[in-house]
Amino acid sequence: MSPLIWGRPGVSALLAGSRLRASGATAAASADKEKDPSACKGIAFPELVMRLDGRDQLARMTPAFRRVLRSGFDVGSLLDKLCPVELEDGRVALFTVDDYARSEQIEEFERMVQARGRTLASPARVVVPATLLLSIVRGQITGDTLRSRRRVLLDPVKSSMASAFHDIVAWGARHGASDIHVNLRSAHPESEIRYTLGGRYVMPERFRGMQTSTLREVLAVAYMDIQGGNGAVFDPMIEQQGSILHDVEGVSFMLRWASLATDAGASVTMRLLRMDMREQPPDFARLGYLPSQVRVVERALVAEGGAIVLAGVVGSGKSTTIASMMSRIPSTRKVITLEDPVEYLIPNALQNSVSRSLDGSVSNEFDAKLKTIKRSAMNDLLIGEIRDRSTGRAFMDLASSGSNLYTTTHAGGAALIPDRLASDFIGVSRRLLATPGILKLLVYQTLLPALCPACALPLSSLFDRAGGGGMASHEPDHWRRYADRLHALYAIDVNALKVRNPDGCPACRQSTLPELHGYAGRTVAAEMIDPTVDDGFLRLVRDADTLALRDYFRFQRRSAFDHADMTGKTAMECAIYKASQGLVDPRDIEPRFVSFETVELRRTRAPQVPPGRRRPRRLASGRVQAPLGRRRDAERGGRPA
């Protein structure tokens, strides 16, 4: 191992005692610097900086990292840029990012350390990547996790298992997988690795035929890095949970581990959360929100007080959308977040990672943080998810306090969010939910694969084909009748519909998975309810009229299905609009929602007048709505959805 010391030649020779060392990629560069005095031009005084480029180098550092020194050093808001740490020999090093390595603040810190009777390590300044520093400050990397990492790195067998695990994670990370699944089959020599990619459960060719015994070892070694796990070692016979921090090409990922002891063997699912601390969340248009929807969100963002609640299934991109909303809040407002874990760096926000306990409930840490936050005069607060009674209480407390609350929950539609919040699991009072001003905006979103614009084919290209996309084969005119049904249901121009090209093109064939050829990323399909302009909705919430809530959108639509105005349209109708523009394959819509046949049946059987209303209802805008909708539909040969 060679010392990683950047400094004036000669000065290092004066150093006494043990030196910080780490092996790794930057060693050569540092050695060059020591040979070349010109590299140190402009440095006016003896300066010693070590540079670590990742967690593995940190794990190899001697003397090893022991803990972050919080008490006794008033680091305050500098903590994510400059952090005093204690090493195993009791000396103190200052972990910092590039910009602060030569700052006045770090000099001040060095004086402070000595003034407190502590000895500085040599070199005292250790430059680490910003994401690594955040993980250290947030306690995601600890002396313990580094020790077990070091054990793995020093053992050649374990080390090769660790690199196999890295390959598995890196493949998922590069392809934008939301989950990695390792299914051990104890009775078989081979087991399987699958990924959830674009909502599909796929098995890439390169991980086929993995040996069961090897995979079990790979999981056992990976589990050594687990935090908050139940059990010290991986046990295929029991259910285990926890999280692992893992870097792929300089980006940190949080892997949320959940293993299920199935009859065939352990099935480990790892949710892949990209902790993109350097990147700002994408804007709404890039996520796939349409202009009329962006306007609704913007209206909600400027309104004072109340909650914006986002629903969707797991992996539907809720946290990305919420982070995008938060990043639009003006800097004159105090923004605090409570997340599990922090995935995006939101400018101007004071972000907090709180981990859930093993049973999935929120820990005491959450309650303690919340207590302090309530006294911190914040304007906007993000609570990652409302999922149990503890977060439900927090919701009631905060939504009625006049601050702006942003959160997510699991519900099958925007109109079903109040029902979910009022459920026995969460226990928010219906009365409160029906109070004007408490619910500001309800959003439901899902993600659909977006067609590659370079190679998408017209729907008519299917007309001569039988077969139905992997399902049982259909009669030859199947797709013609499919097009007819779409036209009858939605009065859209079926000649504008496009479908995926299964062969793909150079623009979209970067994946080794044929299932993804013809696609270019994913796009949001969303529905929104703005209860601030619709008292009728709040009345249904108050009366717990679940059926009327389910059918809420039936009488809300104001424009044709191929019109860009999304007012009163469901997420499925939003997807239909995107299909009418050739952006998504209509065949990808049914699996996310309901079949077109179900839509047809519901329309013919459902009442044609809103429940409890004889006359057409006036909207807040004063427009008479139902007859207008029907008139438009009549013109287009359709009926209201």
Q: Does 452 bind Zn ion (CB under 5 A)?
A: yes
User: Helix 478-490 to helix 571-580 angle, to the nearest 10 degrees?
Assistant: 120
**Sole window of 56-64, 134-142, 455-463, 581-589 interacting with Zn ion (rule: CB under 5 A):** 455-463
CB closer to Zn ion out of 305 and 521: 521
**Helices vs. strands in the chain: H and E counts, helices first:** 20, 21
Q: What distance in Å separates the CA atoms of residue 348 and residue 444, rounded to the nearest whole number?
A: 26
Q: What distance in Å separates the CA atoms of residue 68 and residue 76, rounded to the nearest whole number?
A: 13
Among positions 505, 533, 606, 634, the unique one binding Zn ion when judged by CB under 5 A: 505
**Sole window of 149-157, 326-334, 451-459, 587-595 interacting with Zn ion (rule: CB under 5 A):** 451-459
CB closer to Zn ion out of 454 and 594: 454
**Sole window of 80-88, 284-292, 454-462, 563-571 interacting with Zn ion (rule: CB under 5 A):** 454-462
Q: What distance in Å separates the CA atoms of residue 370 and residue 376, rounded to the nearest whole number?
A: 10
CB of 587 to Zn ion, least distance (A): 17
Select from 184, 257, 181 the least CA-distant residue to 215: 184
Helix (H, G, I), strand (E, B) or coil at 367: helix
Specify whether the CB–CB gap between 450 and 288 falls below 8 A: yes
β-strands 266-275, 179-183 pairing: antiparallel
Q: Does 508 bind Zn ion (CB under 5 A)?
A: yes
**Sole window of 131-139, 305-313, 343-351, 508-516 interacting with Zn ion (rule: CB under 5 A):** 508-516
Q: What distance in Å separates the CA atoms of residue 140 and residue 254, rounded to the nearest whole number?
A: 9
Q: Does 455 bind Zn ion (CB under 5 A)?
A: yes
CB closer to Zn ion out of 427 and 521: 521
Find the binding residues for Zn ion in span 461-480 (CB under 5 A). none
Q: Does 450 bind Zn ion (CB under 5 A)?
A: no
Q: Does 507 bind Zn ion (CB under 5 A)?
A: yes
Q: Does 154 bind Zn ion (CB under 5 A)?
A: no
**Sole window of 132-140, 357-365, 507-515, 594-602 interacting with Zn ion (rule: CB under 5 A):** 507-515
CB closer to Zn ion out of 322 and 452: 452
Among positions 29, 233, 314, 454, the unique one binding Zn ion when judged by CB under 5 A: 454
CB closer to Zn ion out of 85 and 455: 455
Compute the 3-state secondary structure of the chain and give helix, strand, coil in percent, each to the nearest 5: 35, 20, 40
CB closer to Zn ion out of 507 and 533: 507
Q: Does 503 bind Zn ion (CB under 5 A)?
A: no
Q: Does 453 bind Zn ion (CB under 5 A)?
A: no
Strand ranges for 231-324 from DSSP E = 240-248, 251-261, 266-275, 306-311
CB of 504 to Zn ion, least distance (A): 5
Q: What distance in Å separates the CA atoms of residue 285 and residue 291, rounded to the nearest whole number?
A: 8
CB of 513 to Zn ion, least distance (A): 14
Alpha helices in 124-249 (DSSP H): 130-137, 143-154, 156-174, 212-223
Interface contacts to Zn ion, rule CB under 5 A: 452, 454-455, 504-505, 507-508
